[in-house]
Amino acid sequence: MVKLTPSQQTQIGLETALLEAAPHPEQFRAYGAVLDISRITELTNNYANAQAQLQTAQAKLEVARSAYDRTKNLVDSAALPKKEAETAEGTLRVDKAALAGAESQLRTLTATAQQEWGPVIGRGIVERSPAVVKLIERDQLLVQVTLPPGVTVTGTPGTALAQAPTRNANIDLQYISPATRTDPRIQGLSYFFSVPGDSGLLPGMNTTVYVPSGNTYEGVFIEDTAIVRWQGRSWVYLRVSPDSFRRHPISMDQPVSDDDYVVRDIPSGSEIVMRGAQVLLSEEAKSELRGGDDD
């Protein structure tokens, strides 16, 4: 127990808040890696080139087929020698083969895009969707989020939360699809998310990501400023009277972000010290030292 007069509380800038328990989404701490999407750019350009080659092959085949039909009619009427029809037929066969090759190339690129990036991003590469264009133009970045081994989520994550390494801010990640490969360092289930290009993240960066599990639980939302660490545990201070505060142990196994937590072992409606908890811990330690000296 720590006691401070109202004037002492004002002097240290102590602030408290009455906090009620409420339903919160359960979250898992996961590993995020911002990917280099040069391969997506390459596949998108290759597919566009293959489409152009297919259209060219189709046009050439139509011209060759018309030329062959005209030549064959003239040969049949003895207006041209037979070798002219043979030449036109050869050109037609070559253009048919070119068309088949262009179609095969397009199918191969479609399959490659889906194998490497999954059906959602793969289809976006083929269709040059706005989402893929935003990735190519760096309006959005692609983040691969990998859960710890053995951890699963219910349904699709929808959104997730990360923190930019370059600034103290939370970043919203938007779910895209399951990933086609896991991170070899983590070996857990993996997903693709997008994040704004101006978020502070850059390709090659790693970040901690909080992914909703799909479940909810009752708890009190606590900011990091209310938490003190002592003797290997985490604590908050509860007001028990106008001038008295009691240190209360908490579990921090449910992070909301790198700075915030939802705590299940605090009674709902408790008045918690939000600012000044560290000063209370110092005062408590001083009181114990003074007690030891008296003994």
* 177 close to 158: Cβ distance less than 8 angstroms: no
Q: What percent of the chain has pLDDT over 70?
A: 92
Supply φ then ψ for residue 10, to 5 degrees: -65, -40
Which H/E stretch holds residue 83? helix 82-127
Question: Distance between CA atoms of 163 and 281, rounded to whole angstroms?
Answer: 29
Look at the domain 29-37+140-215 and name its fold.
Answer: Elongation Factor Tu (Ef-tu); domain 3 (2.40.30)
- Residue 293, pLDDT above cutoff 90: no
**Model's pTM, two decimal places?**
0.73
Residue 269: which of 239, 244, 247, 243 has the closest Cα?
A: 239
pLDDT tens, position by position, 109-119: 999 999 999 99
Structure tokens at 17: 């808040």
Structure tokens at 80: 């041209």
pLDDT tens, position by position, 251-263: 877 666 556 788 8
pLDDT tens, position by position, 39-75: 999 999 999 999 999 999 999 888 888 887 888 787 7
Q: What percent of the chain has pLDDT over 90?
A: 52
Kindly state the DSSP code that residue 226 receives in the 8-state scheme. G
Residue 126: which of 35, 40, 194 has the closest Cα?
A: 40
Average pLDDT on 34-38 reads 95
Q: Does domain 2-23+217-294 have CATH number 2.40.420.20?
A: yes
Instruction: Categorize the per-residue pLDDT at 169 as very low, low, confident or very high, splitting at 50, 70 and 90.
Output: confident
225 Cβ partners below 8 Å, 6+ apart? Answer: 274, 275, 277
Q: What is the CA radius of gyration of the chain?
A: 33
Question: Higher confidence at residue 154 or residue 134?
Answer: 134
| Mean of per-residue pLDDT scores for the chain | 88
Q: What is the DSSP string of 246-285?
A: EEEEE---SBSSSSEEEESSS-TTEEEEEE-HHHHHHHHH
* 34 close to 143: Cβ distance less than 8 angstroms: yes
Instruction: Categorize the per-residue pLDDT at 141 as very low, low, confident or very high, splitting at 50, 70 and 90.
Output: very high
Question: Distance between CA atoms of 94 and 229, rounded to whole angstroms?
Answer: 78
Q: Which residue spans within 102-202 are E strands per DSSP?
A: 140-146, 159-163, 170-178, 190-196
Structure tokens at 119: 């059906």
